[in-house]
Amino acid sequence: MADGGETRRPPVVAVDGPAGAGKSTVCREVARRCGLTYLDTGALYRAIGYTALQRGIDPLDDHAMEALCQGLDIEVATAADGTTRVVVDGEDVTTHLRTPEVSLSASRVSARPPVRARLLDLQRRAAARGGVIVDGRDIGTVVLPDADLKIFLTASPEERARRRHQELAAKGDPATYEATLADVIARDAADSGRAIAPLKAAADAVTMDTSDTPFEQVVTRLCARIAAA
């Protein structure tokens, strides 16, 4: 690390990009190799999406969402395998966060102002000591605009749909490639088109396209950038 001799805070790395670009797999591996803590901020939105579903709260009802968010005790931790664990009101909800219902609810709640306001402070506190790699949609633009390194990790919609389709097929899901591609495009539009904290690359972010780059090369390049940051 180029620090001119004085002791510097360990780096803060912000990684944004669309769903399916491989952010979480890449970040977990980079964190392991570079000695950083990985924070998956999508898990926080998913935890609120899950809780809203459990409690029958309509994400469009700002009043009810505000009350929900204010009353929730949310703790975030990193497990030994690098995954982000979320504890809501004392219950570890991590294993409930990856269902299609929770994905949809997370996407809905993530567009609501009270939710983003509630999670902003939590994310900043989690990153305050440095030595972190944080992935999401608005990390370099809104949450951590002073990050030491900002990466926009992306891949073409077709490649992301291909990967997702493969994952679904492996689980026995009969969704076609065309339907999966339509989903990817719709999610991109929802994430990029929302009024609040839309998905976009920060002006000072380095864009890395993973469409044709093998995983190992993406990880090595990112580690090299962190070492040079």
Chain residues in the site for ligand DC (CB under 6 A): 19, 41-42, 45-46, 106-107, 110, 136-139, 191
Q: Pull the structure tokens for residue 99.
A: 């269902």
Q: Which is nearer to ligand DC, 2 or 195 (CB)?
A: 195
Cα–Cα distances in Å, from 63 out to 114, 119, 213, 221? 9, 17, 45, 45
| 28 within 8 A of 38, measured Cβ to Cβ | yes
CB 164 within 8 A of CB 180: yes
Between 15 and 218, CB nearer to ligand DC = 15
SS3 of 22, please? coil
Which is nearer to ligand DC, 42 or 59 (by Cβ)?
42
Q: Which is nearer to ligand DC, 183 or 191 (CB)?
A: 191
Strand order in the sheet with 74-78: 74-78, 84-88, 91-92
Length of the chain: 229
* Least distance in angstroms from the C-beta of 6 to ligand DC: 32
> Least distance from C-beta 8 to ligand DC, angstroms?
25
Q: Which two tokens stand for residue 19?
A: 């769903």
Joined together, the tokens standing for residue 215 give 């995983």
Cα distance between residue 143 and residue 120, in whole Å: 6
Shortest reach from residue 123's CB to ligand DC, in Å: 7
Of the two residues 162 and 187, which places its CB atom closer to ligand DC in the complex?
187
Smallest distance, ligand DC to C-beta of residue 228, A: 25
Q: Toward ligand DC, which CB reaches closer, 191 or 226?
A: 191
3-state class (DSSP) for residue 20: coil
Residue 97 Cβ, how far from ligand DC at the closest point, in Å? 8
**Phi and psi torsions of 11, nearest 5°:** -65, 155
CB of 42 to ligand DC, least distance (A): 2
